[in-house]
Amino acid sequence: MTEQNVIWLFMPLLFIVAFLYASVGHGGASGYLALMALFSFNPSVMKSSSLILNIFVSLISFYQYYKGGDFKWKLFLPFIILSVPASFIGAYIILDSVVYKKILGVLLVFPILRLVGIIGRESDAIKEVQWLWAIIIGAIIGLLSGMIGIGGGIILSPVILLLHWGNMKQTAAVSALFIFVNSIAGLTGLLSRGVAIDNNIYIWLLIAIAGGVAGAYIGRKQLSNNVLKKILAFVLVIASVKLLTTGNK
């Protein structure tokens, strides 16, 4: 990966990822990891870098939705009870690099399907949250998030919508805060293990924040950009295929 490639390809794509993920209440970790995989980043810094970007972009997204009155504590609390400790524990689980790539490649299917509109459609009939199931789901997502280096929103959002526990904006608001706290827990676990952080993280952070601010604002205003969504879906498909088909490289 050359410096020119980073400037002319990675940076604009990073902005687009942060923009589109924030527009639906996500931090974008799976997208950041996908880009890093495409540009052959060192796996040792991928998780910590994506979680740092995730923390800031998800917080920006949450603020926009919270300001719009879309956040519901009763929808958020059951998911978070066990997800935070599970995410911290998950960060201590060291996966084989090939297994890690395969899991990430499969998880990228969720945002791809969300971007093309196959999953994530809201229902008019909102049901009460079943706490026991929400706690169990939160724990599973938290553990997986810590292991992979994501916040878990790409899994949580479809679950909430499929179970009719919230509408689109409520789901985005809850997912944003869920991602924020799980990303902090996962990053804390990684740092306590002595995992390194890439020196370029500050530059990437500025770009991700800019994309996150724009995306969160536009998402709350119910605007959309189908061209950008298709671009990101295409990039994620390429990344997913690469992750699923590469070996130990």
Which tens digits make up the pLDDT trace of 48-63? Answer: 999 999 999 889 889 8
**H-assigned helices in 92-167:** 97-107, 109-115, 131-148, 153-162
Of 79-83, 94-98, 135-139, the least confident: 94-98
Count of residues making up the chain: 249
Q: Of 220, 208, 224, 222, which Cα lies nearest the Cα of 57?
A: 208
Contact 31, 15 (CB under 8 A): no
Cβ-proximal residues to 183 (8 Å cutoff; 6+ apart), any chain: 27, 29, 51, 54, 55, 58, 87, 145, 150, 151
If one counts every other C-beta atom within 10 angstroms of the C-beta of residue 168, the result is 19
Q: Decide which of 141 and 47 is more confident.
A: 141
pLDDT exceeds cutoff 60 at 5: no
pLDDT exceeds cutoff 70 at 115: yes
Report CA Rg, the chain: 16
Contact 54, 175 (CB under 8 A): no
DSSP single-letter state for residue 7: I
Give me the pLDDT at residue 23, please.
78
pLDDT exceeds cutoff 70 at 214: yes
Give me the pLDDT at residue 4, please.
54
pLDDT exceeds cutoff 50 at 249: no
Give me the pLDDT at residue 143, please.
95
Contact 80, 62 (CB under 8 A): no
Q: Decide which of 46 and 226 is more confident.
A: 46
Give me the pLDDT at residue 123, please.
64
For residue 197, what are its two tokens? 């952080």
Which tens digits make up the pLDDT trace of 120-146? Answer: 666 667 889 999 999 999 999 999 999
C-alpha to C-alpha distances, 15 to 8, 98, 137, 162, 166, nearest whole angstrom: 12, 28, 30, 29, 28
Give me the pLDDT at residue 136, please.
97
* pTM of the predicted protein model: 0.83
Helices (H) and strands (E) in the chain, counts: 12, 0
C-alpha to C-alpha distances, 47 to 72, 235, 245, nearest whole angstrom: 29, 19, 20
Q: How far is CA 8 from the centre of its chain?
A: 23
pLDDT band at 207 (very low <50, low <70, confident <90, very high): very high
For tokens 């724990």, name the residue.
139
pLDDT exceeds cutoff 60 at 165: yes
